[in-house]
Amino acid sequence: MSAKGNCNTCRPGIIMIERNDSQYPQQLRMIADPPERLYCIGDVSLLEMPMAAVIGSRKCSEYGKQTAMAVGKSLGMAGACVVSGMAKGIDSFGHLGALKHGGKTIAVLGCGVDICYPAENRKLYEQICCDGLMISEYPPGTAPMPYMFPQRNRIIAGLCSVIAVIEAGRDSGALITAGLAEDFGRDVFAVPGNITSMWSLGTNKLIADGAMPVVTVDDVVRAMGLDAQHSEKEYEGLSELEKQIVMLVKAAGEVTLEYLCTKMKMNPVDMNGIVMVLEMKGYLATNFGKIFVAKF
**Beta-strand runs (E) in 137-179:** 162-165
Spatial distance between the Cα atoms of 128 and 110, rounded to a whole number of angstroms: 16
The reply to whether 169 and 264 lie within a common domain is no
Residue 145 CB contacts under 8 Å (≥ 6 apart), including other chains: 110, 111
| Same domain, residue pair 88 and 139 | yes
Please state the pTM of the whole predicted model.
0.80
- Residue 244's CATH number: 1.10.10.10
Give the DSSP H or E segment for 133: strand 133-136
CATH number of the domain bearing residue 105: 3.40.50.450
Instruction: List, as own/partner pairs, every contact residues 124-127 make where C-beta atoms lie below 8 angstroms and the sequence separation is at least 24, other chains included.
Output: 124/86, 124/92, 124/95, 124/96, 125/86, 127/99
- Decide if pLDDT at 216 tops 70: yes
Number of domains forming the structure of the chain: 2
253 and 174 in a common domain? no
Contact 86, 109 (CB under 8 A): yes
Does residue 159 form part of some domain? yes
Burial of 33 (0-12, 13-18, 19+ CB in 10 A): exposed
Q: Please provide the average confidence, as pLDDT, over all residues in the chain.
A: 90
Most confident of 9-23, 168-182, 268-282: 168-182
Print the domain residue range for 270: 240-293
Residue type, position 57, single letter: S
The pLDDT value recorded for residue 94 is 97
Predicted pLDDT at 1: 35
